[in-house]
Each structure stands twice: as structure tokens, then as C-alpha cells.
């Protein structure tokens, strides 16, 4: 018999099938995230989503004033905000959902992108020719398989956003290459722009890499070998896709690229840190036993970079994908992508070392696994459909060879896992789900052999959905955030000076931003390299580690080592969960075991100074490490030593030794070790200190001679050390000057101050130096100077003047112009070609 359906009826049937599957995927997404949807607005999807929550609050506050949030003055003493693509300021889905409260916004963004991923896998499966039920099974596994549940648990939402666009990018690459033109499908360009705006730069590199590999693969092995021009057209279309995608996203790409070039991570991180979370041999058992080796009651916390699970059934069906001649070409490509991802994630192999050499700022090898998860899910879908086709035709001899590899893999994995000791079930719904899956596959084969192919596929779809739902069950870990009225009760009204916390588990930079309090620390983002280096010195008092990571100013229980640097950085307020013993601190409030101290030694946000010495960054760093700023801003040589007190020493005894041995400006490094400036460096004083029974050990002193091992040096800079870094306080000033700030802490990065000086000099601003911040004196542009490792100094002549520092979003404007031009030219050329 032949199908008498009209084209309209066929189209209508397809629409109903697509709508039904998409609704089913939406129900499954809601079921997975139900804990955050039934909670209040102050509950977030995963602990690390707090970063996104705080950024979103600031973004909304800035947008409410009618301005784009180019600058965030509340984090890291001020940092580019819009240029950091992780803030998703201009990401279209975020812009569409900003009418929701912040908590509901993040939950909805997570759910939307999980669903977008499922819809994308469905689209990709249909593009390569799979039927609706096989495509639905593939979509379920690709949507919630792999690390999706773990990302939701941990709040790694940016990676979810980016990964959601991978199946769409690959699907539209296939569709685009089927066109007899070098002009790509417009949706491919849109998808590539969206995935970058989603905010996960590392994932964007991987996604774009897959698209480029598919185009290169198609040039080497065309989909239509009879078309002689298909190879050249593939290369030409890749060039056009790249140019259009870069042009469309230039408004975000340009400022982000400029920020990344000055970021701490751009310099690279050590290989030993980069491979954290990489795979070893036992991890490959996770294809069938994703919880193997995990002892925690919350396994998804440990699975963020550890699994590529798509269910027992689809994984077992993967070998059959290569028996489908019509889809063998795409199956080989997907297998290649999976192998590349697994080779890179395995740190036992040398490939990730090459990856690190090319991308030294990337880390966590397991974050490439979303490529493997999609590839395995689609391969399993192809194999599933081939299984039903062969069973329906009762070609058992052709079917068995394709099932043997999967059966052997299951047997080997089960033998290894079951021969060991497992403190928790190694697989979801263990042990009945694997048994049901095996019985279900056999039953579906029998049903297909009885000409019940649709029922067989529906049974397998049910098995896959049950497996994946069991795998993600309990993945959500809603995180409650403190209500704003409680934060204000703890912290009080914000002040104009900056703040730090020695109680970061209760008062962190996130709470400070929500309260409108400028802070020296911040939430993990793209951090300026110079500021990161300065923060390392201020927090530890030690030479820079240069490991590409921000170690933070805020601590738990101890003050940062260099109080003088904090004073110059305008730290006026210090929060603590316990009383602090340090000079120049005055308790101003004590609420719910949270102490707030005023820093009486704080310097203004901007102050006048004469010209400092110009030197290299290395020279300036050496000077700061060996010196200390006094109350007048003079950089004076100091001798620093560490003293480890005996465990039984009381506070009174310690205070007595400090006074008697001229140990000044003490900072606790841990429970027993303090860092001091040794004011009296005489041999008699040092030897008396070393012989005191209260002192268990010291660092920085030769215990035989009493000499300081890192003696202070003169502040004169040699000719070979002259650079573009100005170090203030190194020369006596011939005159004086005053400053008065009238505008600060704005989203446009604007700081306005009145200056009155008797002689020419500089205004030092504890505002991080950034290439897109420009300075004006009386409306005339002047060139700011990089000062004190991370901050800004502006030259001013003698007399009364108005100084202005502001953010000039040059790269954004240039990128926006290019984006508009790209869209206009692209639209014009497309219309011009249409009549042909």
C-alpha cells in the first residue's frame, strides 16, 4: 500500500509530533528543576550561581538608571562589567527574561537552556534523518545526560548556556552545507553569535572548533561526492560563516577581547592546576556506572567534569551506528569528536599537555565532555534506529555483530565494578534499572520482529527517559541567599570608602555589592592581571605567584598582611566574625556576631602627591615588598620577619614581647604565626627576640648572626630599571595639594574630583588602571599613568582644577558599528541574491 496523505497532512503530522516531543522535554525539565521552581525567589539553582545572581543584581541596578553597566565599581576596586561576557548583560535570552525576579530569572534561564539543548538535539537528529521516536530518545539523553545534572547542582550555568547551542550549531552546519551556495544558513550565524554571548569563553572555543572540524571534514569527505564544487564551497562557506559570526557578535567580542588581553588568566596557569578534574582509567567505567567510586551522599557535586553518561541503552547501541550505511559518514565524524574529547580529558595521555600549551588559560579538562555527550547520544540514536530496522527485517545475523561490542563493554565494566567494594550504588536505580534495560531491549527487538516497530521504539524511549530521569534525580541543590533586609541589618548603610572582610563565609563581596558597598575583593570573573598581582602582595606580603589565579583579599579570621597597601586603596571598613586586635581599628558595630571596624588610617579615594619614580613593574614590586607606606604616604624601607609563637603563649605575653622587641604592625598569618615590621634591627634586640621562650621559630632572620636575611635596600632606581610604572611616596614633595571627590562609584566609571595644588604634581586614584579609562583635567584629555602596580595617577598642573576619570567604551562602540555594518551588508546582499 502507498501513503495517500497529502503534503499538508504530512506537514501537520510533523508539527504535531515535534510539538508533542518538545512538550515532553519541557515536562522532563520541569521535573528535574522542580525544587527551585516551587521555592521562593531567594532560592538559586546551585551554589556557584550566586556569582551570576550578584552580577545580575548590579546589571539591573545600572540598567534601571538608563545606562549600560560598562563599569562595576563595587568589585575588585572597580572592574569592567559589560566587557566581561560572563555577566551576560547583552545575551538575548537574559534580556528577554529580566522581567522576572533575580532568583526566578536564574532558575528560568537554567530550565530554558536545558530545554534548548533538548530541542537542539531533536533538531540535529531529524537533520541526519532519524525518526521522531529515535530522535526523542536522543534528545532526552543529550539534554540531561553527561554533566548536565552536575552543572545544575553546582550552579555552573554558563557552561549549560554555551553547551545548549552545540547541537543547533552542528545541525545548521549540516543544513548550511547542503545549500548550493557559499552563503550559509542565517540561523548558523545567529547560533554562533548566541553561543559566544552565553558567557563561557572556554566552551565557545570548543564549540567553534567542532563547527570548523565539520567543515574541514566535509571538504575532505563531501556529503555529495558527485558535486565537484562541494569541497571548494565548504571552505568558502566556512570563511563566510566566520566573517559573519565575528561581525555580528563584534559588539561584545571587541570589549571582551580587550579585557581578556589584560586578564590574569591570559598569562596562563600552571599545568598541575589546569588538569584538575581530568580523567584517569577508572573514569571510563562511568559510561555505564556514573557513580562508581563516589562516596558522597550528593554524587552530582563530584560529577561536574567526570561523566559523559547517556544511559545504558543508547551507549550499548553505539556500535550499530556504523552499520547504517546512509549515516555512516556523520557517525564517523561524531565518533571522531567523541574520541578527541575523551583523549583531551584523559590526563594519562599527552594530548591535554598540547592543549595547555595552546590555551594556557584554560583549565578543567572535563569541561570539554559536553562534546562527547552530544556525540555519544546521537550515535546511540542512530544505532537505536538501526537496531529496530534490522529487527523489523529479522536480519538477526546482521544485528548480533553490532550488539556484541556493547554487551562486552557492559560485561567488562560490570566485572570491574562488582569485583570491588562500592560504598554507594554505582549506577542510578541500581540494580533493577540495568536489568530492566536489558529485558526491555530484548522485548523491543521481539516487538520490532513482530512488525511493531513503533511500539518497540516507544518502549526504548521510555527506558531511556527513565534511565536519565533516575540519573538526574536529586541533582538540584537549591541555595538560599540571605534576604536584603538581613544583610543591611548586619552591615549597616554603605559608606563611600571600600571594605574588606575577614569573615567571608558570612560577609563576602557578594553581600557588599548587594548592599552597595565598594569592595577590594570580588566574585570570580575575568580579573585584571595587574590588580591580581597587587592583591597577592597586599594579602600575603610575599612575592607574586604568577599562577594566573586570583587569591583574594578577603580571608577567614586573619587580616591581610599589608595593611599599608589597604590604607592607600581606600579600605575604610573591615568586617569580621570575631574581635580584631590591630592598630588603627575602631569598632563601630556588633550585630549577630558580625563586627564592623572603622579603619582610622585610611587614605582618601584620591589624593595629591608629587611625581614618584618611574620604574619597571618588577622594580616597583621589589620596592613595595621591601618597604612600607607610612601615614603620610612615604614609602620607607622596612625589615619584615615572621614569628611563630609557642602554642601556650597568651595574648598578654605576646603583646609584651611585641612592645619590648619593637615588633610593629603585626598581622596574623595563622593561629600561631604573625608577620611584623622589625623596627629595631640591632643585633642585641634580634638575638634577644630569638632567645625569648615565647618565640618558637622565625623566618627572615639569620638565627646565628641575627642579620635580616632580606635587608631593606635603597629606593634609588638604576638606569636599567626605568619603566612606565610610577611608584608614589619615593621622593619628598616640595609642595602640597588637596582633593575633594564629588562623584564616584558609578556604572560609567566616572570619578570627579576638585584639585588644588601649590605646585604641579599627580592625583593618585585608587582606581584600577584600565586602557579604556580616560582622564580629563578641566575638560582637556591627559594621559594617565600606571601607578603602584595596579592603580591610576593623573598629572595636574599647579592651581585649582577639576579632574575627571571615566570609562570610554571605545571597543564597544567600534564593535557595535561593525555589527550594524555586518547586518546591513549581509541583508543587502541576501536581498540582492533572492530574485535570482
Give the three cell numbers for residue 137. Answer: 530518545
* 606-645 per-residue burial string, b: 16 or more CB within 10 A, e: under 16: bbbbbbbbbbebebbbbbbbbbbbeeebebeebbbbbbbb
Q: Verify cis geometry, omega within 30 degrees of 0, for the bond prior to 431.
A: yes
**Sheet of 613-615, strands arranged across:** 606-609, 761-765, 791-796, 785-787, 725-727, 613-615
pLDDT at 217 over 90: yes
State the maximum Cα–Cα separation within the chain, in Å, rounded to a whole number: 109
Cα 584-585-588 angle, rounded to 5 deg: 145
Residue 552 region by backbone torsions, left for phi larger than 0, else alpha for psi between -120 and 50, else beta:
left
3-state secondary structure at position 283: helix
d(CA 361, CA 263): 10
DSSP symbol at 545: -
40-49, 109-118, 153-162, 281-290: range with lowest mean pLDDT:
40-49
**What pLDDT, on the 0 to 100 scale, is given for residue 713?**
47
Q: How many CB atoms lie within 10 A of CB 801?
A: 18
Name the residue among 77, 95, 427, 361 with its Cα closest to residue 252: 95
534: left (phi over 0), alpha (psi -120 to 50) or beta: alpha
Cell numbers at 320, concatenated: 550499530
Domains and CATH numbers, the chain: 7-35+119-164+264-472 (no CATH), 484-604 (no CATH), 723-810 (2.60.40)
Res 833: pLDDT: 59
**833/309: higher pLDDT:** 309
Binned at pLDDT 50, 70 and 90, residue 228 comes out as low
Residue 75 clears pLDDT 80, i.e. is over it: yes
**Residues 153-204 pLDDT 10s:** 999 999 999 999 999 999 999 999 998 888 999 999 999 999 999 999 999 9
Reported as type and span, the H/E element at residue 777 is strand 773-777
Distance of alpha carbon 513 from the chain centroid: 19
> How sure is the predictor about 229, in pLDDT bands with cuts at 50, 70 and 90?
confident
pLDDT of residue 716: 46
Kindly report which listed range (52-56, 621-625, 665-669) carries the lowest average pLDDT score.
665-669
More confident call, 772 vs 4:
772
445-465 per-position pLDDT tens digit: 999 988 899 999 999 999 999
What is the total residue count of the chain? 836
Q: Does residue 146 contact residue 369 with C-beta atoms inside 8 Å?
A: yes
**What does pLDDT average to over the chain?**
89
Contacts of residue 169, Cβ cutoff 8 Å, sequence gap at least 6: 188, 191, 192, 195, 207, 210, 211
pLDDT at 813 over 90: yes
Q: Each residue of 99-138: pLDDT tens digit? A: 999 989 999 999 999 999 999 999 999 999 999 999 999 9
Q: What is the dihedral of CA 184, 188, 194, 199, to 10 degrees?
A: -100
**C-alpha–C-alpha distance, residues 374 and 84, integer Å:** 28
Pair 569, 498: CB distance under 8 Å: yes
Residue 613 half-sphere exposure toward CB, CA atoms < 13 A: 22
Dist. CA 507–CA 146, nearest whole Å: 35
Q: How far, in Å, CA of 595 to CA of 666, rounded?
A: 20
Q: What gap in Å lies between CA 193 and CA 190, rounded to an integer?
A: 5
Give pLDDT tens digits for 548-573: 677 788 888 888 888 999 999 999 99
Report helix, strand or coil for 80: strand
DSSP single-letter state for residue 90: T
Taken in order 439, 441, 444, 450, the sign of the CA dihedral is negative
Q: What is the pTM of this model?
A: 0.90
Amino acid at each position: 500500500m502507498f501513503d495517500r496523505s497529502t503534503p499538508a497532512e504530512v506537514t501537520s503530522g510533523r508539527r504535531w509530533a515535534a510539538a508533542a516531543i518538545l512538550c515532553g522535554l519541557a515536562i522532563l525539565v520541569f521535573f528535574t528543576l522542580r525544587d527551585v521552581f516551587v521555592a521562593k525567589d531567594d532560592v538559586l539553582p546551585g551554589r556557584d550561581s550566586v556569582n551570576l545572581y550578584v552580577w545580575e543584581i548590579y546589571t539591573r541596578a545600572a540598567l534601571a538608571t538608563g545606562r549600560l553597566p560598562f563599569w562595576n565599581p563595587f568589585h575588585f576596586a572597580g572592574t569592567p562589567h559589560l566587557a566581561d561576557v560572563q555577566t551576560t548583560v547583552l545575551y538575548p535570552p537574559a534580556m528577554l527574561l529580566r522581567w522576572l525576579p533575580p532568583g526566578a530569572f536564574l532558575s528560568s534561564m537554567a530550565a530554558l537552556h536545558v530545554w534548548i539543548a533538548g530541542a537542539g538535539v531533536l533538531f540535529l537528529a531529524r537533520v541526519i534523518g532519524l525518526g521522531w521516536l529515535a530522535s526523542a530518545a536522543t534528545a532526552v539523553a543529550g539534554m540531561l545526560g553527561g554533566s548536565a545534572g552536575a552543572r545544575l547542582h553546582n550552579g555552573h550555568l554558563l557552561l549549560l548556556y554555551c553547551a545548549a547551542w552545540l547541537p543547533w550549531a552542528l545541525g545548521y552546519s549540516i543544513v548550511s552545507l547542503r545549500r548550493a551556495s557559499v552563503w550559509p544558513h542565517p540561523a548558523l550565524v545567529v547560533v554562533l553569535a548566541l553561543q559566544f554571548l552565553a558567557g563561557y569563553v572556554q566552551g565557545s572555543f570548543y564549540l567553534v572548533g567542532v563547527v570548523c572540524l565539520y567543515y574541514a571534514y566535509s571538504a575532505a569527505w563531501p556529503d555529495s561526492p558527485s558535486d565537484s564544487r562541494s569541497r571548494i564551497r565548504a571552505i568558502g562557506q566556512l570563511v563566510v560563516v566566520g566573517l559573519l559570526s565575528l561581525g555580528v557578535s563584534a559588539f561584545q567580542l571587541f570589549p571582551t577581547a580587550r579585557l581578556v588581553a589584560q586578564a590574569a588568566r591570559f598569562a596562563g596557569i600552571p599545568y598541575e592546576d589546569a588538569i584538575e578534574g581530568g580523567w584517569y582509567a577508572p573514569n571510563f567505567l562511568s559510561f555505564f556506572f556514573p557513580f562508581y567510586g563516589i562516596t558522597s551522599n550528593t554524587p552530582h557535586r563530584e560529577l561536574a567534569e567526570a561523566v559523559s553518561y547517556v544511559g545504558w541503552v543508547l551507549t550499548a547501541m553505539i556500535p550499530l551506528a556504523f552499520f547504517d550505511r546512509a549515516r555512516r559518514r556523520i557517525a564517523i565524524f561524531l565518533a571522531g569528536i567523541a574520541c578527541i574529547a575523551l583523549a583531551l580529558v584523559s590526563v594519562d595521555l599527552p594530548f591535554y599537555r598540547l592543549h595547555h600549551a595552546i590555551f594556557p588559560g584554560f583549565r578543567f579538562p572535563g569541561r570539554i565532555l559536553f562534546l562527547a555527550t552530544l556525540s555519544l547520544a546521537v550515535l546511540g540514536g542512530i544505532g537505536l534506529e538501526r537496531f529496530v530496522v534490522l529487527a523489523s527485517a529479522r536480519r538477526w545475523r546482521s544485528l548480533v555483530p553490532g550488539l556484541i561490542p556493547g554487551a562486552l563493554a557492559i560485561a567488562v565494566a560490570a566485572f570491574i565494578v562488582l569485583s570491588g567494594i562500592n560504598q554507594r550504588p554505582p549506577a542510578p536505580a541500581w540494580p533493577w534499572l540495568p536489568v530492566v534495560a536489558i529485558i526491555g531491549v530484548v522485548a523491543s527487538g521481539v516487538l520490532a520482529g513482530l512488525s511493531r516497530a513503533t511500539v518497540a521504539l516507544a518502549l526504548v524511549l521510555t527506558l531511556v527517559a527513565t534511565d536519565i530521569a533516575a540519573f538526574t534525580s536529586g541533582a538540584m541543590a537549591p541555595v538560599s541567599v540571605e534576604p536584603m533586609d538581613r544583610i543591611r541589618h548586619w552591615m549597616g548603610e554603605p559608606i563611600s570608602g571600600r571594605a574588606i572582610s575577614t569573615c567571608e563565609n558570612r560577609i563576602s563581596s557578594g553581600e557588599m555589592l548587594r548592599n552597595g558597598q565598594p569592595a577590594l575583593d570580588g566574585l570570580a570573573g575575568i580579573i585584571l592581571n595587574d590588580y591580581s598581582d597587587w592583591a597577592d602582595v597586599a594579602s600575603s606580603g610575599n612575592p607574586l605567584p604568577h599562577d594566573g589565579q586570583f587569591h583574594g583579599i578577603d580571608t577567614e579570621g586573619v587580616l591581610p598582611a599589608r595593611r599599608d597597601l589597604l590604607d592607600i586603596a581606600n579600605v575604610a571598613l573591615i568586617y569580621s566574625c570575631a574581635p580584631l586586635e590591630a592598630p588603627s581599628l575602631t569598632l563601630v558595630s556588633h550585630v549577630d556576631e558580625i563586627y564592623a571596624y572603622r579603619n582610622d588610617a585610611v587614605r582618601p579615594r584620591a589624593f595629591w602627591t608629587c611625581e614618584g619614580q618611574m620604574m619597571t613593574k618588577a622594580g616597583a614590586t621589589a620596592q613595595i615588598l621591601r618597604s612600607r607606606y607610612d601615614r603620610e604616604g612615604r614609602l620607607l624601607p622596612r625589615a619584615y620577619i615572621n614569628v611563630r609563637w609557642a602554642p601556650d603563649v597568651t595574648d598578654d605575653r605576646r603583646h609584651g614581647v611585641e612592645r619590648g622587641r619593637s615588633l610593629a604592625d603585626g598581622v596574623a598569618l595563622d593561629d600561631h604565626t604573625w608577620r611584623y615590621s622589625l623596627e629595631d634591627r640591632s643585633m642585641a634586640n634580634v638575638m634577644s627576640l630569638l632567645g625569648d621562650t615565647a618565640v618558637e621559630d622565625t623566618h627572615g632572620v639569620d638565627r646565628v648572626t641575627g642579620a635580616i636575611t632580606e635587608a631593606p635596600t635603597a629606593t634609588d632606581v638604576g638606569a636599567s630599571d626605568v619603566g612606565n610604572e610610577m611608584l608614589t611616596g619615593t621622593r619628598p614633595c616640595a609642595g602640597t595639594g588637596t582633593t575633594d571627590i564629588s562623584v564616584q562609584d558609578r556604572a560609567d566609571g566616572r570619578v570627579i574630583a576638585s584639585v588644588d595644588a601649590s605646585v604641579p604634581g599627580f592625583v593618585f586614584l585608587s582606581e584600577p588602571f584600565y586602557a579604556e579609562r580616560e582622564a580629563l583635567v578641566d575638560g582637556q584629555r591627559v594621559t594617565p599613568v600606571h601607578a603602584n602596580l595596579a592603580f591610576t595617577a593623573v598629572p595636574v598642573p599647579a592651581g585649582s582644577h577639576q579632574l575627571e576619570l571615566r570609562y570610554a567604551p571605545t571597543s564597544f562602540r567600534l564593535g557595535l558599528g561593525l555589527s550594524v555594518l555586518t547586518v546591513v551588508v549581509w541583508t543587502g546582499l541576501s536581498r540582492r541574491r533572492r530574485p535570482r
